Each structure stands twice: as C-alpha cells, then as structure tokens.
C-alpha cells in the first residue's frame, strides 16, 4: 500500500495492532493472518505534519468474513 508522507502504518484487528514495514518511498507492506478473526480490519496511518503527531488517520476498512465452504 502506498501512503505518501506516512511515518507509521498499522492494520488493526480488534485490539491488536499489526505494524507494517516501510519499503521504497512511502510503500508499506506486511503479512497478517486473519483466519482466526472475524469482524473489521482497519488500516491506519500516522503523519508527521500537524500539531498532534500521535493522531492516527483511518485509510481503509475491511470486513473479515468467516470462511465458509460451499458445495458445487
């Protein structure tokens, strides 16, 4: 994921924060297993500009669904 000017990026599932690693430029990546979770996953980022640098801004939100098998 490319998030210009971000200094930290996390994926939040429930109360668990998964830190993404910065690669080239402002590209962030990571691997997160979601198989044991259902609910919402949020991508949040912190930017250095502004008065309060401790504020994280929401970037994306995903709904994690339980894997169900279907018969064909």
Is pLDDT of 52 > 70? no
Domain range summary for the chain, segments of one domain joined by +: 10-43
Calpha distance 72→64 (Å, rounded) = 23
Per-residue pLDDT, 39: 87
Is pLDDT of 43 > 90? yes
Calpha distance 21→38 (Å, rounded) = 24
Calpha distance 15→24 (Å, rounded) = 29
Confidence (pTM): 0.78
Per-residue pLDDT, 72: 67
pLDDT bracket for residue 49 (50, 70, 90): low
């Amino acid at each position: 994921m490319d998030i210009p000017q971000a200094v930290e990026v996390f994926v939040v599932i429930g109360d668990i924060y998964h830190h993404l690693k910065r690669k080239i430029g402002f590209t962030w990546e990571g691997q997160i297993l979601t198989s044991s979770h259902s609910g919402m996953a949020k991508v949040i980022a912190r930017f250095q500009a502004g008065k309060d640098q401790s504020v994280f801004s929401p970037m994306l939100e995903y709904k994690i669904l339980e894997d169900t098998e279907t018969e064909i």
